[in-house]
Amino acid sequence: MAGSGTAQLRTGDALLRVEHLVVNFHAGPRQRVHAVSDVSFDVLEGETLGLVGESGCGKSTTGRAVMQLPRPTSGSVRFAGQELTALKRGALRETRPQMQMIFQDPISSLNPRRRVVDIVAEPLAIWGRGGGAERDAKVREVFDAVGLDVDAAGDRRPYQFSGGQCQRISIARSLMLDPRLLICDEPVSALDVSVQAQILNLLADTKKRYGLTMIFIAHDLAVVKNVSDRVAVMYLGKLCEVAGADDLYEHPTHPYTNALLASIPEPDPQVRPSTNGAGLAGEIPSPVSPPSGCRFRTRCPRAQDRCAAEEPQMRQMRPDHFVACHFPVESPVSFGATRSTASNQ
């Protein structure tokens, strides 16, 4: 898209359903940053949605808007049957423990002066949950879940750990309040490549162990593929393409998705990446004055006049595959169901 629309929303109960989400920021006199512009997606219970796009496209803002941090400019965020945007402060606070966020830079997200055992235990203290013995047992359990020994590690401070270990501590902390939804915002982007796979595996194990639902944010499609059931591709505040993870990689349909895939290095230097003529040239435009029509048109090799005049709407291309583009790379194929209700694949 970069376009809008809700064709990608599924029927039935989703744990999270976001519709027409808009987040604008003020940027000086009479200037607005259009960070998120009419974005809709849903996440079924137990599912992982990958949210992918270049830096600055609005991924973190989307994640924070789901948590109502801050409240979005407009749109609907329905979580576990409750419309979060309509909740008063007190009621919203009550829902907060059910949604936790993990950030890119694990070391700076942990208080450097505190022992890690206290950092991990802190959410229970803040929320006044559990007595001493219960808290200790929960701390021990989550340390164990993230592969750290509380007796050996608990008294140390964050700076005494590596980035990967600090991310383990952040994950442990996020589990203390038994969340239902975990929003992981580029959780491995700041880590050494050798450590990334360990943290991705840990997140997958944690999801299974605690029955979590996840939004996994990354700028790297290769990282997102392995952890996601479904992937939403974002460009300049809009969604371009939403599909089951395997289908997205096998049949990338939006020119931007093709460009992102083409930019993933091939492991075999003899093999030239297949680009469908879709290299990603130029810079992402400013979200202060995004292009008319399709926001991707200034960089799109397939752009035509219509793309400047008319914003593309999401439409179904294949079962559980939706794209917002006037001239997609693949044509729609015929299929039986009019709308997929597939859950975890």
Ligand X SMILES: Nc1ncnc2c1ncn2[C@@H]1O[C@H](COP(=O)(O)OP(=O)(O)O)[C@@H](O)[C@H]1O
Q: Is the peptide bond before 106 cis (omega within 30 degrees of 0)?
A: no
46 backbone φψ class: left, alpha, beta (φ>0; ψ -120 to 50)? left
Taking the least distance from each CB to ligand X, the nearer of 28 and 269 is 28
Q: Could you tell me the smallest distance in angstroms from the CB atom of residue 138 to ligand SF4?
A: 48
- φ, ψ of residue 46 to 5 degrees: the values are 85, 0
C-alpha–C-alpha distance, residues 130 and 112, integer Å:
25
Q: Write out the two tokens for 54.
A: 């270049």
Taking the least distance from each CB to ligand X, the nearer of 98 and 189 is 189
Q: Which of 307, 314, 321, 322 binds ligand SF4 (CB under 6 A)?
A: 307
Taking the least distance from each CB to ligand X, the nearer of 60 and 174 is 60
- The verdict on 224 binding ligand SF4 (CB under 6 A) reads no
- The verdict on 41 binding ligand SF4 (CB under 6 A) reads no
Q: Could you tell me the smallest distance in angstroms from the CB atom of residue 21 to ligand SF4?
A: 20
Site string for ligand X, 281-310 (x = CB under 6 A): ------x-----------------------
From the list ligand SF4, ligand X, Mg ion, none, partner contacted by residue 154 (C-beta under 5 to 8 A by kind): none
Cβ pair 258, 330 in contact under 8 A: no
Site string for ligand SF4, 249-268 (x = CB under 6 A): -----xx-------------
Extract the runs of DSSP E, i.e. beta strands, from the chain.
Answer: 16-26, 32-43, 48-52, 74-79, 82-83, 99-102, 181-185, 213-218, 230-235, 238-244, 315-318, 321-323
Taking the least distance from each CB to ligand SF4, the nearer of 87 and 308 is 308
Distance between alpha carbon 138 and the CA centroid of its chain, in Å? 27
- Among 41-49, 101-109, 149-157, 289-297, the segment contacting ligand SF4 (CB under 6 A): 289-297
Q: Which of 60, 165, 170, 174 binds ligand X (CB under 6 A)?
A: 60
Distance between alpha carbon 268 and the CA centroid of its chain, in Å? 29
- The verdict on 61 binding Mg ion (CB under 5 A) reads no
- The verdict on 1 binding ligand X (CB under 6 A) reads no
Between helix 163-175 and helix 116-126 the angle, nearest 10°, is 20
Q: Could you tell me the smallest distance in angstroms from the CB atom of residue 22 to ligand X?
A: 12
List, as one string, the DSSP characters of 267-291. Answer: SSTTSPPP-TT----SPPPPTTSPP
Residue 168 makes CB contacts below 8 A (sequence gap 6+) with: 146, 147, 148, 199, 202
Q: Which of 8, 37, 40, 60 binds Mg ion (CB under 5 A)?
A: 60
- The verdict on 142 binding ligand SF4 (CB under 6 A) reads no
Which residues lie near ligand X (CB under 6 A)? 25, 27, 33, 35, 53, 55-61, 287
